[in-house]
């Protein structure tokens, strides 16, 4: 009886679920394109991860290539360039967390403190616009501005300072990454924090203002504590990508002169796959290792 009652209960629940899905079929239909996209572009390609444990042969294809176990990882861990790229990736992304991550928070606080509504919208649009530019365009702008005959060096020459090699100097590469990242992405990232700020009860600000709290005190004691859960979630997500150093940005801003400081893990994988003797199994092993580290950190 208990088993039959359990089966009946499960059947009744499934029927109720089916009725609910059918009743809201229009809403569920909206999920179909997203589910199809994830299945085609995220789940099906996972089959290619098996290359990390195979010796890829083009004439045999992915599935028929012979298994070699962890042989690819033995070669990966012996490569000194691999460990050097990990060190550079960690250094660059630690700097991103230190310098780039707080900036959208500060920007959202500053925009929120603007009293004129139209001016606030204009400033938000101005800061958000760079997000929609590709790194190819941004890198072209930076190259034209900082090259030997660019705007900055032209001004320096007029002032008698002389020409500075901004793009070919290894000391300038990392700060250039941070500055360009802040300019391009801070406005877009600030939208999340501004949405969190808009959910704060206005009465808290009114009560604090009556008590004589200054703007800075209201930010420190009301705004920041209220959006702290959002900041923590965004920080966790950023930490989960610490092994990903922004391939598009690094690829477009790097050159042969700064290769010693610009070959991150993504650039190392790109070089193995496209610029040296092609070994898809080796590069897949590195890619899988990177994803595993990100997953553990997340």
Residue whose tokens read 């690094």? 250
162 and 217 together in one domain? yes
- What is the C-alpha to C-alpha distance for residues 199 and 184, in angstroms, rounded to an integer? 26
Domain presence at residue 58: no
Residue range 25-65, pLDDT digits in tens = 898 899 999 999 999 988 888 888 888 898 888 788 888 88
Q: What is the pLDDT of residue 7?
A: 66
The residue among 286, 183, 298 whose CA lies nearest residue 233 is: 298
Query: Does residue 171 surpass a pLDDT of 80?
Result: yes
**283 — pLDDT class (breaks 50, 70, 90):** confident
Residue 117 Cα distances to 86, 113, 158, 162, angstroms: 46, 10, 41, 44
12 and 96 together in one domain? no
48 and 106 together in one domain? no
132 and 190 together in one domain? yes
Number of domains in the chain: 2
84 and 12 together in one domain? no
Query: Does residue 132 surpass a pLDDT of 60?
Result: yes
- What is the C-alpha to C-alpha distance for residues 65 and 63, in angstroms, rounded to an integer? 6
- What is the C-alpha to C-alpha distance for residues 79 and 254, in angstroms, rounded to an integer? 22
- What is the C-alpha to C-alpha distance for residues 68 and 281, in angstroms, rounded to an integer? 10
Q: Is residue 200 a contact partner of residue 222, using CB atoms and an 8 Å limit?
A: yes
- What is the C-alpha to C-alpha distance for residues 95 and 170, in angstroms, rounded to an integer? 16
183 and 224 together in one domain? yes
Phi, psi of 66 (to 5 degrees): -70, 145
Q: What is the pLDDT of residue 188?
A: 92
Q: What is the pLDDT of residue 2?
A: 46
Residue range 195-222, pLDDT digits in tens = 999 888 888 888 988 888 888 899 998 9
Residue range 174-193, pLDDT digits in tens = 999 999 999 999 999 999 99
Q: Is residue 202 a contact partner of residue 53, using CB atoms and an 8 Å limit?
A: no
What is the DSSP secondary-structure string of the chain? Answer: -HHHHHHHHHHHHHHHHHHHHHHTHHHHHHHHHHHHHHIIIIIGGGGGGGGGGB---TTTHHHHSPB-TTHHHHHHHH-HHHHHHHHHHHHHHHHIIIIITHHHHHHHHHHHT---HHHHHHHHHHHHGGGGS-HHHHHHHHHHHHSTTSHHHHHHHHTT-----SSS-HHHHHHHHHHHHHHHHHHHHHHHHHHHHHTS-HHHHHHHHHTT--HHHHIIIIIHHHHHHHHHHHHHHHHHTTT---HHHHHHH--GGGHHHH--HHHHHHIIIIISS--HHHHHHHHHHHHHHHHHH-
Domain presence at residue 62: no
Q: What is the pLDDT of residue 5?
A: 59
Query: Does residue 116 surpass a pLDDT of 80?
Result: no
Q: What is the pLDDT of residue 162?
A: 84
- The pLDDT > 70 percentage for the chain reads 97
Q: What is the pLDDT of residue 4?
A: 54
245 and 102 together in one domain? yes
What tokens appear for 134 in the block?
Answer: 């590709």
Terminal CA-to-CA distance of the chain, rounded, Å? 46
Checking 62-69 for CB contacts under 8 A at 24+ apart, the result is: 65/281, 68/281
Q: What is the pLDDT of residue 108?
A: 92
Q: What is the pLDDT of residue 284?
A: 87
Q: What is the pLDDT of residue 100?
A: 92
- What is the C-alpha to C-alpha distance for residues 110 and 100, in angstroms, rounded to an integer? 16
- The pLDDT > 90 percentage for the chain reads 33
Q: What is the pLDDT of residue 194?
A: 92
Range of the domain at 120: 71-297
35 and 154 together in one domain? no
167 and 240 together in one domain? yes
Summary mean pLDDT of the chain = 87
Q: What is the mean pLDDT of residues 274-291?
A: 81
135 and 228 together in one domain? yes
CATH number assigned to the domain comprising residue 115: 1.10.3720.10
Q: What is the pLDDT of residue 296?
A: 84
Query: Does residue 117 surpass a pLDDT of 80?
Result: no
Q: What is the mean pLDDT of residues 98-121?
A: 87
What tokens appear for 183 in the block?
Answer: 């300019």
Q: What is the pLDDT of residue 1?
A: 45
Q: What is the pLDDT of residue 79?
A: 87
**235 — pLDDT class (breaks 50, 70, 90):** very high
């Amino acid at each position: 009886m208990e088993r039959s009652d359990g089966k009946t209960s499960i059947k009744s629940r499934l029927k109720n679920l089916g009725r609910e899905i059918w009743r809201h079929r229009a809403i569920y239909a909206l999920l179909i394109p997203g589910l199809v996209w994830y299945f085609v572009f995220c789940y099906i390609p996972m089959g290619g991860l098996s290359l990390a444990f195979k010796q890829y042969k083009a004439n045999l294809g992915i599935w028929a290539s012979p298994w070699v176990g962890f042989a690819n990882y033995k070669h990966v861990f012996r490569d000194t360039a691999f460990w050097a790229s990990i060190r550079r990736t960690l250094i660059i992304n630690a700097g991103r967390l230190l310098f780039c991550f707080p900036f959208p928070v500060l920007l959202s606080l500053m925009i929120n403190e603007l009293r004129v509504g139209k001016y606030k919208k204009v400033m938000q649009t101005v800061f958000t616009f760079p997000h929609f530019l590709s790194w190819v365009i941004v890198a072209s702008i930076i190259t034209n501005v900082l090259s030997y005959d660019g705007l900055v060096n032209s001004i320096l020459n007029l002032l008698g300072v002389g020409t500075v090699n901004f793009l070919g100097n290894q000391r300038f590469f990392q700060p250039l990454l941070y500055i360009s990242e802040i300019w391009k992405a801070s406005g877009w990232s600030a939208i999340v924090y501004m949405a969190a700020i808009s959910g704060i009860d206005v009465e808290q600000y009114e009560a604090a203002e009556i008590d004589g709290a200054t703007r800075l005190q209201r930010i420190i004691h009301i705004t920041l504590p209220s959006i702290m859960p959002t900041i923590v979630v965004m920080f966790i997500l950023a930490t989960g990508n610490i092994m990903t150093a922004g391939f598009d940005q690094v690829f477009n801003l790097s050159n042969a002169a700064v290769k010693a400081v610009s070959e991150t893990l993504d650039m190392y994988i790109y070089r193995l796959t496209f610029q040296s003797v092609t070994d898809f199994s080796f590069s897949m092993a590195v890619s899988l290792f990177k994803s595993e580290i990100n997953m553990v950190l997340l």
